[in-house]
Structure 1
Amino acid sequence: MVGFSLLLSVVVAAHVAVATPLKARTPYAVKEAHPIPRTWKPVSRAPGAHMLHMQIGLKQERFDELERHLYEVSHPDHVRYGQHLSQEEVNELIKPSEEGLDLVHEWLITNGVDKFDYSPAKDWVNIYISVEDAERLLDTEYSVFQHDDGSYMVRTPEWSLPTHLFDIVDTIQPTNSFMRAAPQKTDWIQFEEGWTPPGYKPPTNETIAKVCNIASVTLECFNTLYGTLGYKQKAVGRAKIAWNNYLNQTPIRPDIYEFLKLYNKPAAQHAWTFESVEIANGPAAQYTPLTPAQANGDDISEEAVLDAETILGMTWPQPAVSFSTGGSPPFTPDLNTPTDTNEPYLTWVNYVLGKKDLPQVISSSYGDDEQTVPNSYAQRVCRSFAQLGARGISLLCSSGDGGLGGQDDSACFTNDGKNTSTFLPAFPASCPYVTTVGATMAFEPELPAYREPGIGPDGRNHGFYASGSGFSYYFDRPWYQNGVVDKYVASLDGLHEGLYNCEGRGYPDVSAQGLYFAFFWNGTLSTISGTSASCPLMSSIISLVNDARLAKGKSTLGFLNPWIYSQAHKAFTDIVGGNSSSCGTDGFPVTAGWDPSTGFGTPIFPKLVELALK
């Protein structure tokens, strides 16, 4: 825990020695209210002893300046391209004012909170507090909420602050965020030789046809399809890649080893040696097979194993890092709160922002509907991702697996109590400071990943799946999308008007294969689908491009979007057919150029390297 100055320590001691009633310089008023999603219902008062890791986001004094630096070092036409900022330079730009920090300290200490620590730039204050104390501090009432699927969460729909802190504190969580950072994957399916989905047309290109099997898409297919086959890394040990694990997802090393033995044998030993970094009591990569209890749990480890198998298989011998983020403080389940519901993104991003040496590419395959997250929280998390970009880190996120929000219109409604029909963008896919990856299927040509509910290759009924697509309600269209996304919106000529924000950040930016990945899990060869597959695949290809740049004495690519939208879109295969029917509509048309189903399309690695080395 970061300590205070001697003077502040004296102030703390003085306040601890006296009573600490609820008081402040100014009256309390509601700072933020957020509607309770239709899928959540309050069931009881929250237990007063339940512990919360509360994160208080303070106003970042010079974020506009940080954003200017981010775009300058990320745009290939700018003289500063590639001159990424240091950790210290970023922290200096986003630190809060001393006056604001002092006022928040005073408020906390006056109310008996005398133990707290900070993010690296002190723009987040972390406290560990009981529900009872949090209710007093925020003049609110916490409840236990139950989701339609049976899970529980401790939240409050609104919270208050003394009015003199309104312009100093941007957000506080966990309060009114109902986000669950779910893995963007669908359906573990037992592989059966010779099965093909209805209507599938095999490729006529003999080379692709020989290595690409729609029922089980392998590393050899990816390498052939995207042009990475035969690439010899030239800066081994310098280009690094990582992936995120949340929700107790755990890489299972024996499964990863068996997968690599099958599909990239020289890389197999890397299954035992990749670095596992545990954050806030997250689980370490596991050296033993799944236990029966784990295998019968709620999708235990499938996401983490998928990310590891894809990334290690594509990028070996690059160093790779598994970030496993848990919740803080250590979670004690009870009848009302059997699972940990602490927000994972801030815990992870504040940890990595505190490190000087980071992998230059990070893949993150988790998300939820944007409207489940209060705008203030989404904005601050997104700004943290901008800090990574300014330091030269490429953060890629999956676009989601529900198309525009779900199979039919039964789920596609606003969360504001009015229940207005709407498409549902996803977060963090909608953040303009990440590169969002959609999913494709088939090979010649590739199409947006889409699967009707029905019988799969294992004879079981499987659910709806469509690559995530949409326009943000929280984030305006970033400047780098001007002339591209607005052109696409104009071409719709009013189609779906009123169901999406035509001025919002559109996504995905790019795509990669995401249907029926060959997958070894729980000792069995099978397949798995989702943008959770396409995101680590695209991340791997970007990391190989970084290798080529580093070998030529250049910087890593960093934040990708200005480069992609201004130049690198020429190095992607445009997807011009298929659909992502969802929310009871045909979805957005898949057209030449950028579209909100496939972005600019799928990568052509040799062309990406050629552009990256100019």
Structure 2
Amino acid sequence: MKLDLTLLLSAAIGAQTVFGTPIRSRTPYLTKETHNVPRKWSKLGRAPGDHKLHLQIGMKQENFDELDRQLYEVSDPEHSRYGQHLSFDAVNELVKPAEESLDLVHEWLLTNGVSEFSYSPAKDWINIYVDVASAERLLDTEYSVFQHEDGSVLVRTSTWSLPAHLHEHVDTIQPTTSFMRTAPKKTDWVQFAEPFTPAGYKPPTNETIAKVCRLFTVTIECFQTLYGTLNYHQKVPGINRIGFNNYLNQTPIRPDIFSFLEKYRPEAAPNAYAFRSIEIAGGPAAQYTPLTLEQAAGDDISKEANLDAQTILGMTFPQPVYSYSTGGSPPFIPDINTPTDTNEPYLTWVNYVMGQEDVPQVISSSYGDDEQSIPKSYADRVCKQFAQLGARGISLLVSSGDGGLGDEDGTSCYSNDGKNSTTFLPEFPAACPYVTTVGATMQFEPEVSALREPGIGPDGNTHGFYASGSGFSYYFPRPSYQDKVVPPYVSALNGLYDGLYNKNGRAYPDVSAQGLYFAFWWNGTESSISGTSASCPLMSSVISLVNDALISSGKAPLGFLNPWLYSKGYQGFTDILNGSSHGCGVTGFPVTKGWDPVTGLGTPVFPELVKLAGC
């Protein structure tokens, strides 16, 4: 029988303010989740009781399996439904929770004094705002302040509970056990304006490529030439759109972007002041003025955002570009008494976007963290949110990471299961099967997997280790679209690295693009930057141009890319044959003919992709 929520609400308000009386529940509390505190984190003490938390309650989605089935149908080029993406309302209908689930969770909240909450569009997430003391009573747990070795702090717990009758209705609640520290997948800003060619580098023999491509720095004209987009004239740029994500208060600086475009794509320069800035949960807007001295002293405030904007605007002009800046709520001052914002940025962003009708067909996201830093329940639910984007015909591309298999020498390559076993470290969201993960290459003829050993860089300064991210998920099983390419690769390893990775996990990356020494503008100065943070917006731009050709032919955009990539689209990529993944103190997985977990299916050949897409 459906509960009368109006009566419950009246009773709750009449009986108590928030948590004015002890917790009440129709069944005993049982532990719902335990997640070990990851390495590099240490507990400082109890969290302040008045610190505000935005708790996000992930409800059991009633028909996700059906959404998954339909997602693969509309994404499989051999299926009769290919390209018939689902509507906003159809997706929400499939993932909404059962009424019984909503009623039971409402009852639990209301009878314990939580009378104000909001929902995601499908009501599969419930949002409440409570202080730490109240959350501790509600979840029968104890929050603490934890500090990372880099000095950042946040409020988390390692275990939490729910009444037994709610366990089957709630998938996850965060922030609780998630220690994810999403970070840009970029490395080493190099301020150096002179041509640079390292020892042993062989320039391309193709005269056209050699004329526009040099290792330091790599420009928009080089990308256009190398991947074949140079002479493509867009047909529906007002309909076809592309976006990129900004987290951690990253914000594009419009004067820097203008300077970059004025030099490398002059006709696009006015768009530096015209692209759309969308602020979510208090995220900062794209900035119309140069960096202040205080901002520039922070060093990292806008480099990732500038890189994404400069690459995408340079590659896709005159397409409309959306910049999403996701902040946290409530606002925070990072000190021990008011720890770092507790929101999970991916979830905040994707739930916002799922509520919008006007969404770009391609979105680039260059952030991530170790998969094991977050509990599986949370990773699974965020990944399912990404599936909803794909079902609506939106391609989400993410960077594979810059640490190869983990870190350089293996000092962090240990499991977080309490056993501290040596292991390679896959990343999230790179390992989510519903995103397209982009690795990095370098050089031009031929391209090879990106690797830069630590040492002296072209600016005379010491620079750290950088290798294109590579991995096999421990959380997500291998998706069916990889069944033809991953098992043969694993078999050919002949036992190499057995026990250090999950042979049956979702493997990444899926594809690759250039990722070393991008020409770049920051703080009024030309420089260079590297990383899969560069590869991801570059690859996203190429896919967006393919969408332009599709839409102008009266066809649907590519949407969720992976089923098409692995069954057909791979023929439009240049297979990368040299390099290895590196990291964790080993040489790592080798780059081989066909798919490999370093460069994926290879780098794009735009004219071939357009043909294969059916244009």
Q: Secondary structure at the match of 2:15?
A: coil
Q: TM-score w.r.t. structure 2 length?
A: 0.98
Q: How does 1:56-135 map to 2 (within 5 A)?
A: 56-135=57-136
Name the residue aligned to 2:316.
315
Q: 1:12 aligns with which of 2, 9, 17?
A: 9
Q: Deviations over 1:514-539 (max 9, x none)?
A: 00000000000000000000000000
Q: Which moved more, 1:187-196 or 1:166-175?
A: 187-196
Deviation of the 1:298 alpha carbon? 4.8
Deviation of the 1:7 alpha carbon? 5.1
Q: How does 1:534-613 map to 2 (within 5 A)?
A: 534-613=535-614
Q: How does 1:51-450 map to 2 (within 5 A)?
A: 51-450=52-451
CA contact (8 A) 2:245 2:325 kept: yes
Equivalent AA in structure 2 for residue 393 of structure 1: I
CA contact (8 A) 1:144 1:337 kept: no
Q: Secondary structure at the match of 1:443?
A: coil
CA distance in 2, matches of 1:154, 1:335: 10
Deviation of the 1:11 alpha carbon? 2.3
Equivalent AA in structure 2 for residue 239 of structure 1: N
Equivalent AA in structure 2 for residue 12 of structure 1: L
CA distance in 1, matches of 2:347, 2:440: 26
Equivalent AA in structure 2 for residue 13 of structure 1: S
Q: Deviations over 1:196-220 (max 9, x none)?
A: 2343221111111110110100000
Deviation of the 1:561 alpha carbon? 0.2
CA distance in 2, matches of 1:45, 1:588: 43
CA distance in 2, matches of 1:93, 1:298: 44
1:482 aligns with 2:483: yes
CA distance in 2, matches of 1:495, 1:336: 48
Deviation of the 1:445 alpha carbon? 0.6
Q: Which moved more, 1:325-334 or 1:492-501?
A: 325-334
Deviation of the 1:338 alpha carbon? 4.7
Equivalent AA in structure 2 for residue 343 of structure 1: E
CA contact (8 A) 1:412 1:424 kept: yes
Structure 2: unaligned runs, 5 residues or longer: none
CA contact (8 A) 2:139 2:161 kept: yes
How many residues matched? 610
Evaluate the alpha carbon distance shift between residue 520 and residue 483 of structure 1 in structure 2; reply closer, same or farther with a 3 A threshold.
same
Q: Secondary structure at the match of 2:397?
A: strand
CA contact (8 A) 2:5 2:107 kept: no
Name the residue aligned to 1:491.
492
CA contact (8 A) 2:145 2:339 kept: no
CA distance in 2, matches of 1:199, 1:140: 58
Evaluate the alpha carbon distance shift between residue 340 and residue 198 of structure 1 in structure 2; reply closer, same or farther with a 3 A threshold.
farther
CA distance in 2, matches of 1:106, 1:117: 15
CA distance in 2, matches of 1:415, 1:199: 40
Q: Which moved more, 1:578-587 or 1:144-153?
A: 578-587
CA distance in 2, matches of 1:518, 1:132: 49
CA contact (8 A) 1:46 1:143 kept: yes
CA contact (8 A) 2:434 2:560 kept: yes
CA distance in 1, matches of 2:338, 2:213: 45
Deviation of the 1:112 alpha carbon? 1.0
CA distance in 1, matches of 2:199, 2:376: 41
Equivalent AA in structure 1 for residue 354 of structure 2: L
Equivalent AA in structure 2 for residue 117 of structure 1: S
Equivalent AA in structure 2 for residue 353 of structure 1: M
Q: TM-score w.r.t. structure 1 length?
A: 0.98
Deviation of the 1:581 alpha carbon? 1.6
CA distance in 2, matches of 1:539, 1:63: 27
Q: Deviations over 1:499-519 (max 9, x none)?
A: 000000000000000000000
Equivalent AA in structure 2 for residue 14 of structure 1: A
Deviation of the 1:333 alpha carbon? 4.2
Q: Secondary structure at the match of 1:257?
A: helix
Percent identity over the alignment is 70
Equivalent AA in structure 2 for residue 524 of structure 1: T
CA distance in 2, matches of 1:22, 1:186: 48
CA distance in 1, matches of 2:285, 2:268: 20
Q: Which moved more, 1:487-496 or 1:192-201?
A: 192-201
CA distance in 2, matches of 1:303, 1:13: 49
Deviation of the 1:540 alpha carbon? 0.3
CA contact (8 A) 2:329 2:341 kept: no
CA contact (8 A) 1:191 1:215 kept: no
Equivalent AA in structure 2 for residue 225 of structure 1: L
CA contact (8 A) 1:154 1:337 kept: no
Q: CA RMSD in A?
A: 1.2
Q: Secondary structure at the match of 2:310?
A: helix
Deviation of the 1:106 alpha carbon? 0.6
Q: Secondary structure at the match of 1:277?
A: strand
CA distance in 2, matches of 1:459, 1:605: 37
CA contact (8 A) 1:191 1:216 kept: no
CA distance in 2, matches of 1:211, 1:338: 48
Deviation of the 1:9 alpha carbon? 3.5
Structure 1: unaligned runs, 5 residues or longer: none
Equivalent AA in structure 2 for residue 162 of structure 1: P
Q: Deviations over 1:430-475 (max 9, x none)?
A: 0000000000000011011100001111111000000000100000
